[in-house]
Amino acid sequence: MILLTIDTDWAPDEATQVVLEKVKKLGVKTTVFFSTPSPVEPWPLLETGCHPDLSRRQVPPMPHGPLAMARPEHDAAVAEAEGRILADYRKTFPEAEAIRTHRFYWHSDLSRLMAGHGFVHDSSMIMPFHPGLRGFKNGRLKRWPVWSSDHLHLARKLPLDRLAMPNWDAPGLKIFCFHVAYLYLNASSLGDFNMITQRLAGESAPVSQAPGVWDLFESLGEKIYRESGGHWLRDIPGDYLVDATVKECV
């Protein structure tokens, strides 16, 4: 099963709008994890998710130096700070059931915290190109690992003009994580990311003629359109979950 997901990060509205309008025309189900409100009206094939940066939560300084992080008071302060961020996202995106943290940030208390704020599906982990990949339940939260990302494709210099990846033909869950900036630039290398400011300012930044990230996304979209029309995280059948449930922290 192949799923397309996009992280908007904090890309400028202009870039986000261009990308989402192109995605909408592909006609396949897509999950978009928003960091900020969308400049594009929702469409029927969109699943809205949240994409917070919980690593930037502000925790008041505590005595005891580095050992403060081993104290219950510190854990409570972290939970309160992250809870405020999640509550803000819940207000902004009340329909969202899915969540992915920026840079796949995670710790053992997050499953309980996320479920407590109404999230059902999390995709804050990556297991690159693993065959037979499945999700699992972490307390009340269903966790779905990412199979590949555009950043990983560029870092490993994998083909962008065809669907050729390690274990591509093996069974299992294949969640792809794309980013607005890379899609907007149709980046063909990691260095292209630095050009987004120039492009948005209308400056004559060089445009690569090589196949890029959007070409890969479009190829995946065309394959999905032919085979299934796509899936959201909420569509993943229960048999893609491992049998064991990881108990949440108490």
pLDDT band at 57 (very low <50, low <70, confident <90, very high): confident
Tell me what percent of the residues of the chain surpass a pLDDT of 70. Answer: 87
Is the model's pLDDT at 70 over the cut of 50? yes
Q: How far apart are the first and last CA of the chain?
A: 34
Cβ-in-10-Å burial (0-12, 13-18, 19+) of 209 comes to exposed
6 close to 19: Cβ distance less than 8 angstroms? yes
221 close to 114: Cβ distance less than 8 angstroms? no
d(CA 98, CA 119) in angstroms, rounded, equals 6
The more confidently predicted of residues 78 and 117 is 117
* CA angle in degrees (0–180, nearest 5) for 18-22-26: 165
The whole-number pLDDT of residue 198 equals 73
Identify the CA nearest to 114 among candidates 103, 124, 127, 129: 124
135 close to 159: Cβ distance less than 8 angstroms? no
Stretch 30-43: mean pLDDT, rounded?
97
pLDDT band at 250 (very low <50, low <70, confident <90, very high): very low
Query: What backbone phi and psi angles, to 5 degrees, belong to 114?
Result: -65, -45
Is the model's pLDDT at 43 over the cut of 70? yes
Q: How many CB atoms lie within 10 A of CB 244?
A: 8
- Tens of pLDDT, residue by residue over 201-235, are 666 555 667 899 999 999 999 999 999 999 999 99
d(CA 93, CA 113) in angstroms, rounded, equals 17
62 close to 68: Cβ distance less than 8 angstroms? yes
The whole-number pLDDT of residue 249 equals 47
Is the model's pLDDT at 44 over the cut of 50? yes
CATH superfamily of 2-246: Glycoside hydrolase/deacetylase (3.20.20.370)
pLDDT band at 153 (very low <50, low <70, confident <90, very high): very high
- Tens of pLDDT, residue by residue over 175-184, are 999 999 999 9
Tell me what percent of the residues of the chain surpass a pLDDT of 90. Answer: 77
Is the model's pLDDT at 62 over the cut of 70? no
The whole-number pLDDT of residue 171 equals 95
Is the model's pLDDT at 78 over the cut of 90? no
Cα separation values, 55 from 3, 103, 120, 146, 155, Å: 26, 9, 21, 19, 23
pLDDT band at 192 (very low <50, low <70, confident <90, very high): confident
Is the model's pLDDT at 161 over the cut of 70? yes
d(CA 188, CA 216) in angstroms, rounded, equals 10
d(CA 50, CA 33) in angstroms, rounded, equals 5
Contact residues for 165 (Cβ-Cβ < 8 A; gap 6+): 129, 148, 153, 158
185 close to 22: Cβ distance less than 8 angstroms? no
The whole-number pLDDT of residue 6 equals 98
Tell me the three state secondary structure of residue 13: helix
Alpha helices by DSSP H, listed for 138-212, are 150-156, 180-185, 196-200
pLDDT band at 135 (very low <50, low <70, confident <90, very high): very high
